[in-house]
Amino acid sequence: MTEPNLHRSRSLLTAGSPGCTLLLAGLLALGGCATTPEQPAPDGAPSAARAVGYALSLQGVPYRAGKENPQEGFDCSGFVRHVFSRQGILLPRRVRDMATQLPPVDKDQRQPGDLVFFNTSGAPYSHVGIYVGDNHFVHAPSPQTGRVMVSALDLAYWWQRFMGVRRPLGQEAWASSISGRGISAVH
């Protein structure tokens, strides 16, 4: 660029100039296109690996009672329901209903993508999270923690309240979707 054109380009993009305002407006308009549409995973059957990956990507989203989307926040069952709806799997809205309607899995047979249930309020099945492997799970714990986060199952608080494991797909379909994939919750 020649010297006169360089000075002209700089003056077009100085604060308050029409060129700067137009550039800023264009960037803001394009920013709205960057949001991810709410739809099931595009490439075939539901996958434990995709569910876990998506759940982990939501870490930090605020806890909000009664909510079930990343824009407003999540409570525990809203978080789980949202993650699996992206896989094309519609789960019940309430934790207790998830626990009673999904097939149980022995705790020693849990796999990434399984649901883990807890008694955190004095009532069975009052909290749910998604097992991510390596003895960790991702969940929307409470207003006190304030956000979606990964926790260790072997922490005394969680292990003492542990109620069981449920699998949101049939055993064979879910197991085949994770075979050969190493999923880790801790980076």
Give me the residues paired with residue 162 across strands: 118
pTM of the full structure: 0.70
Average pLDDT score over the chain: 76
CATH class of 48-177: alpha beta
Residue whose C-alpha is closest to residue 180's, from 3, 48, 17: 48
Q: Is the pLDDT of residue 186 over 90?
A: no
What pLDDT was estimated at residue 45?
Answer: 59
What pLDDT was estimated at residue 31?
Answer: 34
Q: Domain-by-domain residue ranges, the chain?
A: 48-177
Question: pLDDT class for 30, splitting at 50, 70, 90?
Answer: very low
User: What CA–CA distance (Å, rounded) separates 78 from 180?
Assistant: 29
Residue whose C-alpha is closest to residue 126's, from 73, 167, 174, 164: 164
What is the H or E stretch that residue 174 is in? helix 171-178
DSSP, residue by residue, 31-90: HGGGSPP----SSSS--HHHHHHHHHHTTTPBB-TT-EETTTEE-HHHHHHHHHHTTT--
Residue 48 tokens read as 């434990």
What amino acid positions are annotated as catalytic residues?
76, 127, 139
